[in-house]
Amino acid sequence: MGQVINIFFINISIIYLVLSLTLYLMRQLLPIQTGSPYAVRIWFGLAMGLAAVLLTVNSFQVGEARVDLRIIPLALSAAYAGPIGVTVTTGLTLLGRFALDGMTEQFVSSFGTLGLFLVLSLGLSRLVLRRGHLYSAYLVFGTVLVLFRIAGNVPMHAFTTVFLPYFAITFLGGWMCYWVAKQIETHLRMFRLHTQRATIDELTGLPNRYMTLERLNEVEMSGLPWALFVIDVDRFKQLNDTYGHRAGDAALHHIAQTLQANCPPDGFVGRYGGEEFLMVLEDVGDVRSIADDIVTVVRDTPFSFEGTTIPMTVSIGATLAGAEPGTVVFERADAALYQAKMNGRDQAKIG
């Protein structure tokens, strides 16, 4: 019995490893559920199929039965990825069994068992159940199928020395795997959320001040020519006072989207603070022409708030970076912006 328990714990470790790596690699796609895109469900099914194949390799024979914990990745695939995921997992599981045993009676029996499990997933997928309840149903049904399949194919004493531990570890290990999967999924989603909040400006969707300066520093350290545009929304306080702060927020979002849509492919835009934005170009072209084009496109892109069209313009201070530090480049661009403001706004000045 000790050897049996040892192999089962190896099985559990394999499931943990594959499941953890899968959720980490798919962290940008979480949560994985039956309504996820087809590609996501297929990839999850492939990962659980890989786990099932590894479990098959690490299984052991009891009479004519091959014993392992393949039902756990099958149940995970069905609960997370639905019929599509479990179909992929089932296919890989059968391929693994065929590669080990060939076309034997046990393979045909496994084919029938997995086919019944797939039919169950098709039926349960039509019901509105919580994922935990679905997983429980798959785990119980799959274990019962295993019990019926091995009945008559193993000696009676094996039920006490092998299959009682098998059922106990299947349910205990199955729920441990599901609990771990939930914890990993929650952790990765919260990490992604906190990372996004730390680097992305929630109002505009652009990189925030911290992220913008980080990327600007990377460009500066590259040693390649680059240009900096400091962009300020004209008469923004007046807009806030006239139409309210909700209109001001909508205007900043509008400006941000306009700048991002018209930023050259080799550059990026970030919100520096308040109504001020930075645009950094890495492959420097005609700085004046690009700056003038941005001023024009902002002026000509209509902004409407609650049925009212509000004119929007920006002033730009632009400069071409030489070998000086980024702080010096920023001061020169900021001085050019001040000139643009003093000369009547809605224009670009090159410093």
Which of 64, 202, 275, 276 is flagged as catalytic? 275
Alpha-carbon distance of 128 to 263, in angstroms, equals: 46
Alpha-carbon distance of 15 to 1, in angstroms, equals: 21
**Side-chain half-sphere CA neighbours of 161 within 13 A:** 10
- Sequence-distant (6+) residues with CB within 8 A of 74 are 48, 52, 86, 89, 90, 93, 114, 117, 138, 142
State how far the alpha carbon of 27 is from the alpha carbons of 23, 115, 130, 199, 314, in Å.
Answer: 6, 31, 21, 17, 38
The DSSP H or E segment spanning 27 is none
Three-state DSSP class for residue 271: strand
Q: Is the CB of residue 131 less than 8 Å from the CB of residue 177? A: no
CA gyration radius for the chain? 30
3-state helix, strand, coil split of the chain in percent (to 5) is 65, 15, 20
Report DSSP state, residue 97.
H
Instruction: Tell me whether strands 314-321 and 348-350 are parallel, antiparallel or unpaired.
Output: parallel
Residue 276's beta-bridge partner residues? 232, 273
Residue type, 177: C
Confirm whether 218 is a catalytic residue. Answer: no
Report DSSP state, residue 264.
-
State how far the alpha carbon of 89 is from the alpha carbons of 76, 115, 194, 241, in Å.
Answer: 10, 12, 33, 60
E-state strands within the chain:
60-62, 65-67, 226-233, 267-273, 276-281, 304-305, 308-309, 314-321, 348-350
Q: Is the CB of residue 189 less than 8 Å from the CB of residue 31? A: yes
Q: Which residues are catalytic?
A: 275
